[in-house]
Amino acid sequence: MNTIKSTAIVLCICAVTACKREHRVFDPGSSGSQIANGIPLNEVHAGGPLSVPDHGPYEQSAYAVGEGKRLFSAFNCVGCHNHGGGGIGPALMDAKWIYGSHPEQIYSSIVQGRPNGMPSFAGKIPDYQVWELVAYVRSLSGQLPADVAPGRSDEIQVKKAEQAKKKEHPPDESPQPIQKGQP
Partner 1 sequence: MSLQKMNWTVHFSKMSAGAIAPLLASVAIVCIPLGCHKQLQNVESPAGTGGQIHAYTGDMEKDDGQWVRATKDYANTRYSSLDQINTGNASGLKLAWTFDTGVPRGQEAAPIVVNNTMYVVAPWPNKLFALDLTKPGAPLKWSYDPNPSPAAKGEACCDWVNRGAVYADGKIIYNTLDGFTIALDANSGKLLWRTHLADITKGETITMAPMVVRDKVFVGDSGGEYGVRGWLAALSTKDGKVVWQAYSTGPDKEVLIGSKFKPYYAKDKGTDLGVKTWPPDAWRIGGGTVWGFLSYDPASNLIYYGTANPGPWNPEVRPGDNKWTSGVFARDADTGEAVWFYQMSPHDLYDWDGINENILLDLPIQGSTRKVLVRADRNGFMYVIDRNTGQVLSATPYVYSTTTTGVDLQTGDLKRDLSKAPKTGQEIRNICPTAPGAKDWQPSSFSPRTGLLYVPHENMCADEEAEEANYIQGTPYVGVTDRFYAGPGGNEGELMAWDPINGKKVWTITDKYPLWSGTLATAGDLVFYGTMEGWFRAANARTGQTVWQFKTGSGIIGQPVTYRGPDGKQYVAILSGIGGWPGAIVSGDLDTRDSNAAAGWGGALPDLKSVTTPGGTLYVFALP
Site string for partner 1, 60-79 (x = CB under 8 A): -------------xxxx-xx
Task: Tell whether residue 148 is a contact of partner 1 (CB under 8 A).
Answer: no
Which range, of 9-17, 56-64, 102-110, 114-122, touches partner 1 by CB under 8 A? 114-122
Task: Tell whether residue 154 is a contact of partner 1 (CB under 8 A).
Answer: yes
Among 41, 91, 146, 161, which residue interacts with partner 1 (rule: CB under 8 A)?
Answer: 91
Task: Tell whether residue 123 is a contact of partner 1 (CB under 8 A).
Answer: no
Task: Tell whether residue 124 is a contact of partner 1 (CB under 8 A).
Answer: yes
Please report how the helices 103-112 and 127-140 are oriented relative to each other, as an axis angle in degrees rounded to 10.
Answer: 120
Which range, of 24-32, 48-56, 61-69, 86-94, touches partner 1 by CB under 8 A? 86-94
Task: Tell whether residue 112 is a contact of partner 1 (CB under 8 A).
Answer: no
The residue among 150, 34, 53, 64 whose CA lies nearest residue 103 is 53
